[in-house]
C-alpha cells in the first residue's frame, strides 16, 4: 500500500510548529511574531492533517479508529503518560547535576530507585492487567506517579539530602511501572484484530510525540522561573516544572477513566451480515 505522504508532512509540520513555539516562547517572548507564527502554522497543519485523514485512500491514522472511545482514551493517556515521564526524566537529570552537583555517572546511579522499579513491578502489573483490565492500573499508576513528582517538587532545593528523594522516586517508579504495560494493552484491545497493526503504530507515534511535547512544555516553565547559572536557580526552575509533569500525570489519569475492557468486534462480512438479516424472515 502506498505511504500517506501528505499525512506525514502535515502531522510533522503541525507537531513541529507547536513544539517550536513552546521551546522558543520562553526565550523569544510569547507574543513575538516568530512564536505566534509557529503556533498558527502548527495548528493549521494539524487541522489540515485531521481533514486529510478523513478522506485519504490509505490514511496513516484511520479516522474510524478515533471514533472508538477506549482507543482514543488509551492513546490520550499514553501521550500524557509519556509527556509526564520524559519531561520529569529530563528535568531530574539537570537537577541532579547542576542543582545538587552530582557527576553524570552519579546522577545516573541516583535514578535507579525510579528507573529500576519497572523491572520488578511491570511484569506483575501486566499479569494483573490481564485479570482486572487495564483501566485500574492506568488510573492508579498515574496517580502514584503524580504523587511522587509532586512530593519531589515540594522538597527539592539546592541543599536537600538525596535520601529524602528516594521514597518519592520509588512511588513514581511504581506508578509508571503499572502504566507502561497497561496503556498499549488498552489501546490494542479496543480495536478489531484486523486493525492491530495500524493501532499499534498510532499508539507508538503518539507516545513519542508525547515525550517531545512534555519536554518542550517543562522547558518553557523552567526558563520562565529559573536558569542553569546557579544551583539555587536550577532548583527554583525545577520545582514548578516538575509540578507540571505531575499535572500531566493527573490529566492522563482523567483520560484513563474512559477506557473499557471490551474489545470492539470485527465488522461482519457483507454476505454473513445479509444472511443474518434474512434469518428472522424465514421463521
Note the pLDDT of residue 1: 57
Domain positions in the chain: 1-61, 68-264
Note the pLDDT of residue 270: 42
Task: Report the alpha-carbon distance of residue 32 to residue 101 in Å, rounded.
Answer: 36
Note the pLDDT of residue 6: 86
Helix (H, G, I), strand (E, B) or coil at 58: coil
CB atoms near residue 136 (< 10 Å): 15
Greatest C-alpha distance within the chain: 83
Note the pLDDT of residue 206: 87
Contacts of 144 (CB under 8 A, 6+ apart): 171, 172, 174, 175, 178
Q: At the top level of CATH, which class does the domain 68-264 belong to?
A: mainly alpha
Note the pLDDT of residue 139: 94
In the chain (283 residues long), the average pLDDT of successive 10-residue segments reads 79 87 79 90 90 81 83 94 95 94 93 86 78 88 96 95 95 92 88 86 87 90 89 95 97 93 51 40 41
Note the pLDDT of residue 261: 65
Note the pLDDT of residue 220: 87
Note the pLDDT of residue 104: 92
pTM above 0.75, yes or no: yes
Amino acid at each position: 500500500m502506498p505511504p500517506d505522504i501528505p499525512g506525514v508532512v502535515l502531522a510533522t509540520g503541525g507537531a513541529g510548529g507547536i513544539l517550536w513555539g513552546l521551546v522558543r516562547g520562553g526565550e523569544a517572548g510569547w507574543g513575538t511574531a516568530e512564536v505566534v507564527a509557529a503556533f498558527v502554522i502548527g495548528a493549521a497543519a494539524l487541522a489540515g492533517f485531521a481533514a486529510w485523514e478523513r478522506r485519504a485512500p490509505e490514511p496513516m491514522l484511520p479516522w474510524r479508529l478515533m471514533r472508538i472511545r477506549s482507543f482514543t482514551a488509551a492513546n490520550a493517556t499514553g501521550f500524557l503518560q509519556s509527556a509526564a515521564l520524559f519531561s520529569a526524566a529530563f528535568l531530574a537529570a539537570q537537577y541532579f547535576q547542576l542543582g545538587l552537583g552530582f557527576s553524570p555517572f552519579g546522577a545516573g546511579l541516583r535514578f535507579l530507585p525510579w528507573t529500576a522499579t519497572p523491572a520488578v513491578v511491570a511484569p506483575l502489573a501486566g499479569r494483573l492487567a490481564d485479570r482486572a483490565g487495564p483501566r485500574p492500573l492506568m488510573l492508579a499508576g498515574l496517580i502514584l506517579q503524580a504523587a511522587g513528582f509532586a512530593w519531589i517538587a515540594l522538597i527539592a532545593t539546592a541543599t536537600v539530602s538525596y535520601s529524602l528523594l528516594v521514597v518519592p522516586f520509588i512511588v513514581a517508579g511504581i506508578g509508571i511501572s503499572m502504566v507502561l504495560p497497561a496503556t498499549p494493552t488498552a489501546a490494542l484491545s479496543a480495536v478489531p484484530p484486523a486493525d492491530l497493526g495500524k493501532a499499534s503504530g498510532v499508539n507508538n507515534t503518539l507516545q513519542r510525540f508525547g515525550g517531545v511535547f512534555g519536554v518542550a512544555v517543562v522547558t518553557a516553565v523552567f526558563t520562565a522561573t529559573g536558569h542553569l547559572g546557579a544551583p539555587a536557580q536550577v532548583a527554583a526552575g525545577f520545582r514548578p516544572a516538575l509540578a507540571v509533569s505531575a499535572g500531566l500525570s493527573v490529566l492522563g489519569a482523567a483520560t484513563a477513566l474512559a477506557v473499557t475492557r471490551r474489545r470492539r468486534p470485527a465488522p461482519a462480512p457483507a454476505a454473513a451480515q445479509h444472511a443474518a438479516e434474512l434469518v428472522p424472515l424465514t421463521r
